[in-house]
Amino acid sequence: MKVSIPTENGALAAKYSKQAAPALQRKGHPIISFPVHIEDVPADAKTLAFVFYDDDAIPVGGFTWIHWIAANLPANTTDIPENASQTGAVSMVQGNNSTAGGYTGETDLAITQHYVGPYPPDEDHDYTFKLYALDTELPLDPGYWLNHFYKASAGHVLATATTVVVGKK
């Protein structure tokens, strides 16, 4: 299985991260999700899921920052178009990102349960997109947490694919 995200000059395009124009942000958060291309999903997969996260946030905030999680995408999905997080262009159940926790106090579901783009405060960060092919639909509701995804997907992962993109400071 393969997954790819387009980049510009080796980094995630500015419109998907902290350099996004104000019209592409909500309350100072970049909310336009990037396009994703998927290939070679196992034939027996029933659904797809993914997590987009920043381990480089650990020295800054003390934990991995989750930017976007989603499950129950159709297994035949080959492209997730730009802004699918907000538009619903691809059927998916989106979970909480790290802005939903008590750390930020954010309550706007358009931010907390959708894509929120990279905003590295200290230096360029590496952001990981991990795709999962699953043998079942997961019993998850909108706003689920990452730990709920891990528990629900245990024993159901057929394959994974990972790509890393740079988010510019």
Q: What is the pLDDT of residue 129?
A: 98
Q: What is the pLDDT of residue 83?
A: 97
Structure pTM? 0.95
Q: How far apart are CA 80 and CA 25, in angstroms?
A: 20
Q: Which residue has the higher pLDDT, 106 or 16?
A: 16
Q: If pLDDT is split at 50, 70 and 90, which confidence band does 102 have?
A: confident
Q: Which regions of 17-110 does DSSP assign to beta strands (E)?
A: 25-26, 29-30, 36-39, 47-54, 65-74, 79-80, 93-94
- The answer on pLDDT for 2 being more than 90 is yes
**Domains delineated in the chain:** 2-167 (3.90.280.10)
Task: Compute the average pLDDT of residues 23-42.
Answer: 95
Task: Compute the average pLDDT of residues 46-61.
Answer: 95
